């Protein structure tokens, strides 16, 4: 049987070039490869779709037999960096833009959108997951709940990707609480703040090594926190006025 035809990553990046969202080319490649490697008949679940940038990448890379489920309430909260709440007026626009972007990329029929909060959607997704992408609320409580509850649905050997790891305080604390010393999830690596985990950790030595590899990311985490403080204090604007390069918000 011939391999399914899927657009190359370069074409997918062109599709999402004008779609709003926080995703570097390296992170897009990580998502795309995870979707490509999702077994036929499997399931990909994304928590936090915003306007569809990552959704399009996942749907484009997946086999046509794979279910791609995007979970986002489009409720005007947790929209992005420093946009935690108070964006109700933008909610309808985000939802409409999400649908328009998927249609323009030709993946509408490949994606099931659950316009729900992630905890409410838990019972709507029955069975196991092969690839989970977590980019939902970044506060500690919701992030921990997503990683724990949805992570439990991932099949043995499956993949979990988490955005804003070792960048967001809440997400990082959730990782340290549930993954860094846990018995199941092996830390594979990261593309900037997108971490890759696989549900295949075993052995005491493996757990110790796994913990140390994650703890080794903490200096990078401290650097990101410092940069966020600097940008929040308006130093970036000052640099811009003097014609200096302004560091981007770490993601």
3-state SS, the chain, equals CCCCCCCCHHHHHHHCCCCCCCCCHHHHHHHHHHHHCCCCCCEEEEECCCCCHHHHHHHHHCCCCCEEEEECCCCCCCCECCECCCCHHHHHHHHHHHHHHHHHHCCHHHEEEECCCHHHHHHHCCCCEEEEEECCCCCHHHHHHHHHHHHCCEEEEEEEEECCCCCCHHHHHHHHHHCCCCCCCEEEEEECCEEEEECCCCCHHHHHHHHHHHHCCHHHHHHHHHHHHHHHCCHHHHHHHCCCCCCCCCC
Mind listing the pLDDT tens digit for each residue in 164-184?
A: 999 999 999 999 999 999 999
Predicted pLDDT of residue 231:
72
- Asked whether residue 140 carries a pLDDT value surpassing 80, the answer given is yes
Q: What is the CATH number of domain 9-216?
A: 3.40.50.150
The proportion of the chain whose per-residue pLDDT surpasses 90, expressed as a percent, equals 79
Predicted pLDDT of residue 229:
80
Mind listing the pLDDT tens digit for each residue in 67-117?
A: 999 999 998 655 555 445 545 666 788 999 999 999 999 999 999 999 999
- Asked whether residue 187 carries a pLDDT value surpassing 90, the answer given is yes
The more confident residue out of 215 and 84 is 215
What is the pTM for the complete model shown? 0.90
Mean pLDDT of the chain: 90
Predicted pLDDT of residue 84:
53
- Among 161-175, 190-204, 237-251, which stretch is predicted with the lowest mean pLDDT? 237-251
Mind listing the pLDDT tens digit for each residue in 21-37?
A: 989 999 999 999 999 99
Predicted pLDDT of residue 12:
97
- Asked whether residue 61 carries a pLDDT value surpassing 80, the answer given is yes
Q: Kindly list the domain boundaries of the chain, sorted by start residue.
A: 9-216, 219-251
**Confidence band for 230, pLDDT divided at 50, 70 and 90:** confident
The more confident residue out of 56 and 247 is 56
Predicted pLDDT of residue 238:
47
């Amino acid at each position: 049987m011939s391999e399914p035809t899927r657009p190359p990553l370069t074409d997918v990046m062109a599709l999402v070039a004008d779609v709003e969202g926080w995703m570097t080319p390296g992170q897009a490649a990580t998502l795309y490869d995870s979707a490509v490697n999702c077994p036929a008949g499997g399931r990909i679940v994304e928590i936090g779709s915003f306007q569809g940038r990552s959704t399009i990448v996942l749907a484009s890379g997946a086999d046509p037999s794979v279910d791609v489920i995007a979970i986002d309430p489009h409720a005007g909260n947790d929209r992005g960096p420093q946009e935690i709440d108070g964006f109700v007026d933008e909610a309808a626009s985000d939802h409409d833009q999400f649908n328009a972007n998927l249609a323009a990329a030709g993946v509408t029929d490949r994606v099931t959108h659950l316009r729900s909060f992630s905890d409410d959607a838990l019972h709507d997704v029955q069975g196991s997951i092969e690839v989970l992408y977590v980019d939902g609320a970044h506060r500690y409580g919701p992030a921990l709940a997503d990683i724990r509850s949805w992570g439990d649905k991932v099949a043995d050997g499956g993949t979990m990707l988490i955005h804003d790891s070792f960048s967001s305080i809440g997400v990082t604390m959730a990782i340290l609480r549930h993954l860094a010393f846990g018995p199941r999830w092996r830390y594979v690596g990261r593309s900037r703040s997108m971490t890759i985990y696989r549900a295949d950790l075993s052995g005491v030595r493996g757990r110790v090594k796994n913990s140390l590899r994650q703890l080794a990311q903490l200096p990078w985490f401290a650097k990101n926190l410092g940069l966020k403080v600097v940008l929040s204090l308006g130093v970036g604007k000052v640099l811009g006025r003097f014609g200096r390069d302004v560091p981007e918000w770490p993601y």
